[in-house]
Amino acid sequence: MGGPCHTAPVQLVDVREIYLDYNASAPLDPRVVEEMLPVLTTGIGNASSAHRFGQRQAGAVELARDRVAALVGGTRSGVVFTAGATEANNLALRGAVEAAVPERKRLLISAVEHASVRRTARRLADGGLAKVDVIGVTPGGFVDLDVLNELLGPDVLMVSVMAANSETGVLNPVAEVAERVHAAGALLHCDATQRVGRLPFDMAAVGADLVSLSGHKICGPGGVGALVGTATTLRRLAPVIEGGGHERGLRSGSLNVAGIVGLGAAARIANDERATESARVGALRDRLVTTIQSRLAGVSQNGDTTRRLPNTANLRCDGADAEAVIANMDPVAASAGSACSTGTIEPSEVLVAMGLSREAAFESVRFSLGRFTTEADIEPATSRTVAAVDYVRAMLAEGT
Ligand code: PMP
């Protein structure tokens, strides 16, 4: 396991294209496109300009700001538009560290954060700008509250714990984390990219000081997202991108008006339809999993299955390398958590942090469903998956 990527798909069953990789990027909702089109075709001007053209653009941006704030229980003035959740996470961590007093420069991050948190924290530590400690997770994938308690201290500036994990869908107890973090006088940054639009998330109610989100995870456009904070928290950040002073001086650069309008439209739709969509998608996800398990032996689920996103399942198929399974599932799309780095494949850091062996992590496939997944997708996706796992197991058993 962990050898070169398997790339040549083998034709096993005739299936149309089925997309089950929403956590990587969700398809753009046509209703979002409809709201973006006027901006792209007839929208003129820089949203910072005082003339009527600019002010029309600014008006569209402010409506989007309201909608994004509503999605996370924030306020309009707390929304800082960015080029996605990666940038929002960078701004939260780097911005806070740069503005912090020398006595409070320690960051705590959970072991299963997105790379944009983990690598940013590592770089800050490597550069001597911050001390960083990693909070381990339980076998179910939850941040370990006892470890958090042990690590918290008066030098901790910020704790970064995600709301929902992109690989397993496991939901962290954000309110319990916030209580402990605030008692230690630190800030809580919560990457809610995978949770918003799928389950309720109210930053004021749970006590998150800074929240990251992204357009393309909620059927909006890619390359746009936001960091949402309270006025007090945003004052504790330094900008990462310096320039004309846009977005409260925290994120300079002429605004991506069409993208922001698209993000706002996606946030509005997600807010309105979340409850019904999650129930429908959850039932489809459960059926996919139970059907696969009824037809294949040796398939188990990674991560807690009682507190997780309704759209996500991470399945370990014993004896079947996930990269090979995915290559053979084409044109059904799912994902393996492994990452190609410098020519070799590394297992998912998330699954390994949860205590899975490298072997088990290499045999794990993530299915993530969403708004445009239908009842009619489940049977063909299941049979394609079953055939691919059978095939890969047989090939590996033969040693080919
Ligand atoms: N955080 C999480 C939890 C994610 O799943 C992702 C996307 N994979 C990101 C951050 C990065 O988002 P973006 O693509 O908008 O930079």
pLDDT tens per residue, range 325-341: 999 999 999 999 766 65
Predicted confidence at residue 399, as pLDDT, reads: 76
pLDDT above 50 (res 269): yes
Position of tokens 């928290």?
233
Comparison of pLDDT for 6 and 137, the residue scoring more: 137
Position of tokens 């007093």?
101
User: Does any ligand 1 atom lie closer than 6 A to the CB of residue 193?
Assistant: yes
Bridge-based pairing of strands 106-110 and 79-82 is unpaired
Which positions ≥6 away from 283 have C-beta within 8 Å?
none
Predicted confidence at residue 342, as pLDDT, reads: 58
pLDDT above 50 (res 253): yes
Predicted confidence at residue 242, as pLDDT, reads: 95
| 3-state secondary structure at position 21 | strand
Q: 210, 214, 368: which to mutate for ligand 1, most atoms within 8 A of CB?
A: 214
Task: Indicate the average pLDDT of the chain.
Answer: 94
Which atom, in ligand 1's list, is nearest to the CA of 214?
15
Both structure tokens of 148? 């958090």
pLDDT above 50 (res 1): no
pLDDT tens-digit profile of 85-113?
A: 999 999 999 999 999 999 999 999 999 99
pLDDT above 80 (res 84): yes
Which atom, in ligand 1's list, is nearest to the CA of 165?
3
- The active-site residue, picked from 190, 219, 317, 340, is 340
Burial environment of residue 232 by CB neighbours within 10 A (0 to 12, 13 to 18, 19 or more) = exposed
Active site residue 317: no
Predicted confidence at residue 340, as pLDDT, reads: 60
Burial environment of residue 127 by CB neighbours within 10 A (0 to 12, 13 to 18, 19 or more) = exposed
4 confidence band (pLDDT: 50, 70, 90): very low
Burial environment of residue 400 by CB neighbours within 10 A (0 to 12, 13 to 18, 19 or more) = exposed
pLDDT above 90 (res 249): yes
Residue 86 C-alpha to ligand 1 middle, in angstroms? 6
Average pLDDT over residues 23-34: 97
pLDDT above 80 (res 14): no
Total-model pTM: 0.95
7 confidence band (pLDDT: 50, 70, 90): very low
pLDDT tens-digit profile of 340-363?
A: 655 678 999 999 999 999 999 999
User: Does any ligand 1 atom lie closer than 6 A to the CB of residue 169?
Assistant: no
Which positions ≥6 away from 43 have C-beta within 8 Å?
56, 57, 60, 257, 258
